[in-house]
Amino acid sequence: MRRPYGLVIGAVSMMLFVAANAQPAAHEAQDAAPATREAQEAAQAGLPFADAIDFDDAKRGRIAPLPSAPITTADGRVVWDPAAYAFLDTEMAPPTVHPALWRQARLNAIAGLFRVADGVYQVRGADLSNMTFIEGDNGLILIDVLTTVETARAAIALYAAHRPMKPVVAVILTHSHVDHFGGIKGVIEEANVKSGRVKLIAPEGFLEHAVSENIFAGNAMARRAAYMFGVPLPRNDRGQVDGGLGKGTPPGTITLIAPNDIVKATGETRTIEGIEFVFQMAQNTEAPAEMLVYLPHVKALCAAEVMTHTFHNLYTIRGAQVRDASAWWKAIHEAITLFGDKTEVVFATHHWPVWGNDRANAFMKNQRDLYKYIHDQSLRLMNQGYTMVEVGEMLELPETLSGPWYNREYYGTVNHNAKAVYQRYLGWYDGNPATLHPLPPAESAAKYVEFMGGAAAVIAKARESYAKGEYRWVAQVLNHVVFADPANAEARALAADALEQLGYQAESAPWRNAYLVGAGELRNGPPSSPGAIPFSADTIKAMTLDMYFDFMGIRLNGPKSADKRLRLNWNFTDTGDQYLLELENSVLVYTKGQQAADADATLNLTRAVLDAVALQQTAFPKELAAGTVSITGNPAAFGQLMGLMDTFDRTFPIVTP
């Protein structure tokens, strides 16, 4: 059953939040097939497991582990349960998990409060990301505040249990992704930011991107995020073992406070509690608004999420705008130039630090060269005429770059990041006219199956390929059968088995999760419930009115609007904002600061009512009856416009048509 959602005005899809609240489906996991066992044994033999310094670094300076009790919401709902990953205690990877990913999962499970340098501490493993504490004489400065209020409070409590607790006088948000700002109201109060008592420092563009990045394609991103983060999967060696960047995504309360101090340029400094902070801009790298932070007093560089213990994503498989590999390597190069000779520890907002000047510089240079190699070599192959798929298949890292554990594919992969470079420069079309206007999936699937001799013949041949361990091909060819006939149980079951084996073999946590969730949905169907409403009240309130009306235009059903012409005034009585909305040619155009004397209707309301409607706390008919919203002119015109708005299915099918 489809479960649509559609706000009367707009919605913000916080992908981590909705993904983490999705309802798990039944899971019928198979064992590792012989070909998978062979692949895992080969991987185990070919990896440098003798290099175990990461385990020393991940444990270094640990003051206390996370408490064993789950982190919960006020009403007792579990947000984070460290015990869920107790199965990772075994050193040797089971055959259902790639050995390198198992190693990363075990490292990410080393959680607690850690000393990084004099007066610098981190809580790791209480969330997907880390919280960093900088101790001043009379107050604390925090760097990033986790995803949710609940995990942020738990991090503060763990710190306070083992260090002298001081008031939080400043928070630095390194970038505009929710796992770094969502816990903000768990550590400071908004009133103190508005009054200036607490500094909230962020890079230029932070608020705009924190709100907007997931709005317009938010429903699709949120649905796909459940695949990427393995939300419906059980936490065990046949399910979700890790997220690559951290263990997983907590389904708690996401908040947002507008910064009161914006960093705009590299070299800007702030002195807080006698401690100097030096900022380096890293815009359009891992996030559109991002910055690094250098602490001269302890020779420590906070690399934000630009350098971590994994090859990151130039393209994230949940869906987002492609990131700029060129800007990424140049940001790292600038960090080396600015801080490399005076850095004794590099720490990030995920994973564990790297200590020592030589090791820190080797880490930074290898990460820099990783992104530059992918950028340059993808373009070299593109300019030789190779297509996106070919570039992804052809590109391999040299041993000097693939050797370090921190350059491995726990999160991003060489394959899909090379494709991201292609997409950024050349887009989706490979230049071959045969692929310029292909048939849509279900229609082409039916023809493929017919040409291949029918479903029974395809399935029979696919079983032979499965027995040979050709799981990629089995998944690809059976996808045609499933899209031609979604009710074909035999095809769905074999396709699920193939996806599952691909998941077991994947080194990338997002790839593993996507394969395994896909297998589960082929067997059991999509989730029966989409979970909580996919946005937070703070994010709705931070939306500009332009964003609201942009999203209305996205929700407008163009074909249904073909012969419609409407002009509506919107008058916000509390803020003084006025907008004219005009529907014509099946598009909705808005003009700020205008009202039309001949409008079909004028809507009078407050911004607070608009936000409450967007949060589904009320509805326009109720507010009209209560008198908090009024309409002059033709009320039916407003109802007609709302009737042209689509709702979005939050559990739309992915592995079936």
Q: For 169-201, how does the pLDDT look when each residue is reduced to its tens digit (9 = 90+)?
A: 999 999 999 999 999 999 999 999 999 999 999
User: Sign of dihedral through CA atoms 310, 244, 256, 220?
Assistant: positive
Count Cα atoms within 13 angstroms, Cβ side, for 155. 32
Is 168:98 a contact under the CB 8 Å cutoff? no
Residues of the chain with pLDDT > 70, as a percent, come to: 95
Instruction: State which fold the 544-649 domain adopts.
Output: Nonspecific Lipid-transfer Protein; Chain A (3.30.1050)
Distance CA 448, CA 481 (A): 8
213 has a pLDDT exceeding 90: no
Six-digit token string for 489: 């149980």
Q: Classify strands 300-302 and 345-347 as parallel, antiparallel or unpaired.
A: parallel
CA atoms of 352 and 108, how far apart (whole Å): 9
Contacts of 576 (CB under 8 A, 6+ apart): none
Sequence-distant (≥ 6) Cβ neighbours of residue 267 within 8 angstroms: 278, 279, 280
pLDDT band at 13 (very low <50, low <70, confident <90, very high): very low
Q: Which of 323, 309, 183 is nearest to 242 (CA)?
A: 309
pLDDT at position 27 is: 57
| Assigned CATH topology for domain 60-426 | Metallo-beta-lactamase; Chain A (3.60.15)
Q: 3-class DSSP state for residue 587? A: strand
Mean pLDDT in residue range 199-214? 93
Q: Over 60: is that where the pLDDT of 455 sits?
A: yes
Cα dihedral 624, 625, 631, 636 sign? positive
Other C-beta atoms closer than 10 Å to the C-beta of 639 total 13
Domain with CATH 3.30.1050.10 in the chain: 544-649
Relative to beta strand 62-64, strand 112-117 is antiparallel
Mean pLDDT of the chain: 94
Residue 214 — very low, low, confident or very high, per pLDDT cuts 50/70/90? confident
Residue limits of CATH 3.60.15.30 in the chain = 60-426
Phi, psi of 514 (to 5 degrees): -65, -45
Question: Can you tell me the distance from the alpha carbon of 333 to that of 375, in angstroms, rounded to the nearest whole number?
Answer: 14
pTM for the structure as a whole: 0.95
Q: What is the pLDDT of residue 212?
A: 87
Residue 1 in tokens? 């059953």
What's the rounded Cα separation, in Å, for the pair 23 and 20? 9
- Mean pLDDT within 199-223: 92
Under 8 Å between Cβ of 506 and 515: yes
Beta bridge partners of 135: 140
pLDDT digits (tens, 9 = 90+) for 31-42: 999 999 999 999
- Whole-number pLDDT of residue 1: 37
pLDDT (tens digit, 9 = 90+) per residue, 378-425? Answer: 999 999 999 999 999 999 999 999 999 999 999 999 999 999 999 999
In the numeric block, the tokens 């807080």 are attached to 272
Over residues 627-639, the pLDDT tens digits come to 999 999 999 999 9
CA 545/CA 553 separation, integer angstroms: 13
- Please state the rounded mean pLDDT for residues 82-107: 97
